[in-house]
Amino acid sequence: MTENNSVFFTDFDDLKKDLNNDNEDQPILNLASVSGREEQPEWFTEDYEGQLAVDVYQDKENIYVAATIAGVKTKDLDIYLHNDLLTIRGKREHQTEAKEEDYFYKECYWGGFSRSIILPVEVQADKVEAEMRDGVLKVTLPKAEKSKLVNVEIKEK
């Protein structure tokens, strides 16, 4: 982090370094600390630092979240809905036994990934469905019934 102890970070490496800093005198925003617990929750560990690209769209009745998750088995995926926050996390296992020096390109991400999405509208949590087809995960979130808009006429007396 910069010398002025700003809470703003210019790059992710600075943020990561400061989150791991043991200097208790330096005030930092430590997202990894959980009050009353000494160890970090599993979802915040290095195993889940990979990103997941998603498409979020809607029709009249549903919100849809689609993500390409090739090479991941459904048993290695977790989907959580907490209020208006949808979280998808999982792990891609690296199956090849090639040595590091034998690679020409190494662009695929292997390991844990996680993505949280704030939903734009309230959904019916008990009716959420997810399916995986040809490496594409699709989560269907039915929109909650909205209260009807009633126009109240004002009577003049």
∠ CA 76-81-113 to the nearest 5 degrees? 35
Residue 57 has pLDDT above 90, yes or no: yes
Q: What would the mean pLDDT of 142-155 be, rounded to a whole number?
A: 73
Which has the minimum average pLDDT: 31-35, 70-74, 141-145? Answer: 31-35
Q: How confident is the model at residue 36 (pLDDT cuts 50, 70, 90)?
A: very low
Q: What would the mean pLDDT of 36-59 be, rounded to a whole number?
A: 64
Domains located in the chain, CATH noted: 48-142 (2.60.40.790)
Residue 43 has pLDDT above 90, yes or no: no
Q: What is the pLDDT of residue 109?
A: 75
Q: How many CB atoms lie within 10 A of CB 75?
A: 7
Q: Which pair of structure tokens corresponds to residue 59? A: 């029709």
Give the mean pLDDT of the chain: 75
**Mapped to the 3 state alphabet, what secondary structure does the chain carry?**
CCCCCCCCCCCHHHHHHHHCCCCCCCCCCCCCCCCCCCCCCHHHCHHHCECCCCEEEECCCEEEEEEECCCCCHHHEEEEEECCEEEEEEEECCCCCCCHHHCCCCCCCCEEEEEEEECCCCECHHHCEEEEECCEEEEEEEECCCCCCCCCCCCCC
